[in-house]
Amino acid sequence: MSDLDSHASDTDPADENVIHEPRLWRDEGWTARIIKNDDDDGWAVEMTREGEREPTLIGPWTMGRDKKNPKPMDKPAFNTLVKTASEFRRRSEQQLHAQLHKEVTVDSDDGSIKVTLDIVPDDDFPYAELKAWDEMGELLAKAQTAPNYKLSIDSAERWIAGGYRKPN
């Protein structure tokens, strides 16, 4: 085996996806594309996570020295954009989780019972799953309910007192 063959087999296949061009960078699972800003004469940059169709983040981009073309992408700018887009994505996921998952704890004769509500936002048949858990984390009961069911301490207490029957 020649040195060329040996070097070719050591190449990381992921490196084939890496692009470092003035207006397009693809690295670390992200693509930064500098685009013409439709709203004015300036430029914008869109950050898209690998495997996703829509950009996670779109923001303004700096003009170059000629005040006509965009400043070329470089490693420090790309790293900053990756960090910003990752943080934005994480906050969006946390917000979505908070909207789709609710939890209350109710004191009962049998100890504390944690009641959770998980909304399943199906396009055709959205629903929610109501679950009760004991202090050891064992599932006590589960019921399917409407996605607009309002979980509160009062509604959880009523569900428990009613023998965990499906709420109306």
Residue 1 has pLDDT above 50, yes or no: no
- The confidence score (pLDDT) of residue 7 equals 36
In the beta sheet, which residues pair with residue 118? 101, 129
- The confidence score (pLDDT) of residue 14 equals 53
Who contacts 34 (Cβ-Cβ below 8 Å, separation ≥6)?
22, 23, 24, 43, 44, 45, 61, 70, 73
Of 152 and 123, which is predicted with more confidence? 152
Q: 19-77 pLDDT, tens per residue?
A: 999 999 999 999 999 999 877 778 999 999 999 999 999 999 999 888 889 999 999 99
Residue 11: which pLDDT band, with cuts at 50, 70 and 90?
very low
Residue 10: which pLDDT band, with cuts at 50, 70 and 90?
very low
Q: Which residue has the tokens 């996605």?
A: 147
- Spans of all domains in the chain: 15-99, 100-161
